[in-house]
Amino acid sequence: MVSESGDTVRVTVGTAVVTLDGRDIGSVKEVQGAYFKVNAPLQPDYWLSVDHVQRVESGLIALGLDGTALQDAKLDHVPDDRSLPPGETVSALDDADLLDDWPEARERLRSTWEAQHGAGGGRWEEAEPAYRYGHVLRTGQNDPNLQWHEIEPEAEAGYGDWARRHGYDHEPNAWERLKGHVRDAWTRRDGELKV
């Protein structure tokens, strides 16, 4: 999950959770995909989406919800594909976002991009979402032998939704312009070219 500052948020078991108005609501009991369970004192435990996390600092998860909004955000269970809005899924890609090492990978991929495209007048800020998406795709990939041409259709289909969920602007026909950047990040996991 990405915080407002663009950093990856890591939700870990045992971390204290507070509302936007500073009220302590418990601690993280369990993490599943893009959801975490709150061990709430004196009430039943409940699930929240990581989309509600505003920031993580000093072992504390601060939600972007006040007490009133928290009531509406509570879930009895982790949604499955049948209970999500049309087009939304909980997938391995969501898990990869939670475990994402983007801050470290960002610098390596930015250097690669600058060497290949920097002199051409482009801006890293325009390419960064595609590089991040490619990196997350590779992070969530369990099959090291999978080839780009095998995942490209799924990558194309998921990019728009992923970009919107992470706060990036996305034009409907952007894939043709960005797919080379996605592929570059996907094939350069840990600095090695994996084609």
Is the domain of 97 the same as that of 185?
yes
Is the domain of 16 the same as that of 66?
yes
pLDDT number for residue 73: 92
pLDDT number for residue 78: 82
Report field, pTM of the whole predicted structure over 0.95: no
pLDDT number for residue 99: 45
Question: What CATH number is given to the structural domain containing 66?
Answer: 3.90.50.10
Q: Confidence class of residue 187 from pLDDT cuts 50, 70 and 90?
A: confident
Quick: pLDDT tens for 5-43. Answer: 444 557 778 889 999 888 999 998 888 777 889 999 989
The answer, yes or no, to whether residue 111 has pLDDT greater than 70, is yes
Q: Which helix (H) or strand (E) holds 60?
A: strand 60-63
Q: Last residue of a domain, which of 83, 115, 142? A: 83
Overall domain count for the chain? 2
Q: Last residue of a domain, which of 56, 83, 110? A: 83
Q: Which domain holds residue 57?
A: 1-83
Is the domain of 68 the same as that of 105?
no
Q: How far apart are CA 10 and CA 146, in angstroms?
A: 27
Is the domain of 70 the same as that of 2?
yes
Is the domain of 67 the same as that of 117?
no
Residue 38 burial class via C-beta count within 10 angstroms: exposed 0-12, middle 13-18, buried 19 and up? buried
Is the domain of 103 the same as that of 158?
yes
Quick: pLDDT tens for 45-78. Answer: 999 988 888 888 777 888 999 888 899 999 998 8
CB 46, CB 37: distance < 8 Å: yes
